Amino acid sequence: MQGTQATGKPADSQRRAAGARSARETGVRGVSQFRRSARLMRITVCCATVALLAAGCAAGHAAATGRHSTRGRSATGLGLTISPASGSAGVSPAAGITVTATHGRLTGVSVQGGSDPVTGSMNGSASIWHSAWTLGVSTRYTVTATAQARDGKRVTQTSTFTTLTPSSTFATEIYEAQGATYGVGMPIILTFSQPIVNKAAVERALQIQTSRPVVGAWYWDGDQTVDFRPESYWPPYTTVSFTGHLDGVEGAPGVYGFHTLTQSFWIGDSLIVVASTATHYLNLYRNGTLFAHWPISTGRPTLPTPNGTYVTIDKGNPVLMVGPGYSEDVYWSVRFTYSGDYLHSAPWSVGEQGYINVSHGCVNLPPADAEEYYKMEVPGDPVTITGSPAAGTWDDGWTEWFLSWPQYVEGSALGQAVEAGPQGSVFVNPSLLPASTATAPLGTSAAGNSRAS
């Protein structure tokens, strides 16, 4: 049988909504205009008030000068410049904060203001400090900096300024729920309330921290959705923390983000289904070992189950499935396409399972086997359908694994891969990365997996 919760391919900005739960930014203006469905849940907002940074970080940035800076100088020639200058108003958040010492070194920089801490980095000589992320919109900041000359003389300078208030803003939703567990194929899914034009600027603001090293990339599916997918499946038992430093990012001309988006979740067991429409059997692998070999019946010749590597979306026990000539509660049902393809219990077709395809597009399982799989499954568990005369349809479910790794990286606005680990993430040239040793079907998806057989 086939469910009726979704029909066909959703639009780019809506495809994540069907039957899925999501977390929603709190205090977001205009969120109701783009809410996808009742699945959305609140996400947390990172809040703090003060950041302090001394010397010892990576290369800094050139300092602003002239009327945009606040300057101080001692009799020994020690100078200190803060940009933006004190009293400035309507400051562009993208410019950030730059503090420069001349004839001396910076001994301290602190920034007060806003709901998020302002962090930054010092150059090797401790003469220049620059903030790391865009500043928040509609925010009053006070910067206090101290510099010291070789003879011990010190200069302290303060600058207070305000950033611009945008006429239009965008909000961001993340699918993953705080503290939830997902499968090894789960993409990080972000949806924006307005079309994003400056995709590179938004992408630069996205940071991922993982308890185990992970290589992945962002992929723009239209102009209101961007997804992160690892090059190969997530390592099991990985903690993932996401931060979108979107406050002050200009997503389109005159349209700014106004919040910092944070969320943490957990990758659980590796639970992978490979179901063959040709052999009429399903192999279930758990943490790299064959766990079960079950008879199945997939879509009949007029309604074939489409090929492709999907990940599970949601489940229900039962799910009401309605179609030509039937309307029935179906038990132990796990969905993997928006158009209504499930793995589910099918006591009515036990005699055909393992021999012939008779379903309306779903994967029919013996009741006990369907129940066992249902109780282990979490969203994001990979499901690969093989041997079908029907090709999979992009965006009919979470289809990120239809793409090869080179194809996926091409969807990045920066054309860069992401290296993530316990210290956060950095963008890297994908050509400089070592080749992945993961193999299909347990480590990654096979190339061309969505094509008809």
Residues taking part in catalysis: 344, 362
Name 67's Cβ contacts closer than 8 Å, sequence gap at least 6.
85
- What are the backbone dihedrals phi and psi of residue 324, each rounded to the nearest 5 degrees, phi first? -60, 110
HSE-CB at 83 with a 13 A cutoff on CA atoms is: 19
Bond into 324 cis (ω within 30): no
Question: In whole angstroms, what is the distance from residue 99 CA to residue 109 CA?
Answer: 8
Question: In whole angstroms, what is the distance from residue 323 CA to residue 307 CA?
Answer: 22
Length of the chain: 453
